Structure 1
């Protein structure tokens, strides 16, 4: 049995936050690879004399060399996988008709779509979620239950809530989903030079734009774009 670790984060996930998209993302690798990645990220932070938490909302133009090195680290390693689920036109979601009246039901459905391609029979999965609010423990249990019931395979799934400032790979995930969300949002002015620099550099390294869905078989950096159905009443 191989042990894998999955580090998750989310952007614009609240039902009424004014954003026109929702993005869920996850970094997946073996437990041993996670240890080496964390050590490398800490080394890069030391090399660039960077101490604060890495967050998309706090990108600093003076730290561009660090962001560039982090992108290079991720994209150059075939043993590290990333997936983002982008929910488009979030404002037309009809939870009453399609999700038993619950935004939470929809949220867990999208997280299942985000993580299901990582799951293989006979493996042990340790999933790390960013602490967001006091409902973290309930969210952790629910996601674990959804993933185990979503497949007939024999897999072991454990979820853990952590503080993002203690988790280097959740911070890296935050940067990646921030870039995906930024490129896919039509409701904002894309006026930040450092954010556009990050997005364009990542796209150049990948060889494709972040506002298009990738083929299902793309493993290293997969983007799944979900278009909600409009209400039958419209």
Structure 2
């Protein structure tokens, strides 16, 4: 089986005023790709939403559409997985692989892509977020090559603009929700009742308190809650 994976992130920069970062993906079975794409686009058309769905442009008037996306996700063969890093200011030399914050980003991508289904292959797409895209792709590819001993199940790795694919919009909605939930607890963002309403709906459907993460073995909606440990020097 071939799967398409769409990766997006929130608060991934080292000095962006946030103590958290979140990187996640939506996994789509390739045989279902066209049908699921059509289904999600039909929902946008139903709600007369033509613009790209972005968490940082969250609107109360669009909550019915956001909820319909959640319903579609939980009733179709789609999966979500993310790593939520809390207290990223604690990241030290060991966490950073004796390098930079950028190296930690690669480390998280590598961990996120430790896919364990046998006899499966993956096409991975990352949202274009800056001008260093080619460099990032090369480093991720090098890292995966080492991890899988040159036998990586990832058969394609490339950048796409988020507005070119509906699955990036779904990923952004979920990653943004997870990041908001954590930032709200840390008093980094003001309480937003509309976002809280949507977050409660997502928690109801997933069965988990988003800010606490999920069970490690969860496959449908998986949040890995990572808190860098304070080390004794």
Aligned to 2:145: 148
Aligned to 1:74: 73
CA contact (8 A) 1:97 1:231 kept: no
Aligned to 2:103: 105
Task: Give the Cα–Cα distance (whole angstroms) in 1 for the partners of residues 161 and 17 of structure 2.
Answer: 25
Q: Name the SS of the counterpart of 2:210 in structure 1.
A: coil
The 5 A counterparts of 1:8-157 are: 8-77=7-76, 79-95=77-93, 98-116=96-114, 118-152=115-149, 155-157=153-155
Task: Give the Cα–Cα distance (whole angstroms) in 2 for the partners of residues 101 and 15 of structure 1.
Answer: 13
The 5 A counterparts of 1:179-194 are: 179-185=177-183, 186-194=186-194
Q: Structure 2: which 5+ residue stretches go unaligned?
A: none
Aligned to 1:221: 221
Relative distance call for 1:98 and 1:141 in structure 2 (3 A) is closer
Number of equivalent positions:
230
2:211 counterpart of 1:211: yes
Decide which moves more: 218-227 or 205-214.
205-214
Task: Give the Cα–Cα distance (whole angstroms) in 1 for the partners of residues 152 and 164 of structure 2.
Answer: 31
Q: Structure 1: which 5+ residue stretches go unaligned?
A: none
Task: Give the Cα–Cα distance (whole angstroms) in 1 for the partners of residues 10 and 140 of structure 2.
Answer: 17
TM-score by length of 1: 0.92
Q: Name the SS of the counterpart of 1:16 in structure 2.
A: coil
2:170 counterpart of 1:175: no
Offset from partner CA, 1:203-226 (integer Å, 9 cap, x none): 011111101132221100001011
Relative distance call for 1:230 and 1:167 in structure 2 (3 A) is same
TM-score by length of 2: 0.92
CA contact (8 A) 1:84 1:177 kept: yes
Relative distance call for 1:98 and 1:230 in structure 2 (3 A) is farther
Q: Name the SS of the counterpart of 1:34 in structure 2.
A: helix
Q: Give 1:124 deviation, angstroms.
A: 2.3
Decide which moves more: 191-200 or 224-233.
224-233
CA contact (8 A) 1:136 1:161 kept: yes
CA contact (8 A) 1:21 1:87 kept: yes
Decide which moves more: 51-60 or 33-42.
33-42
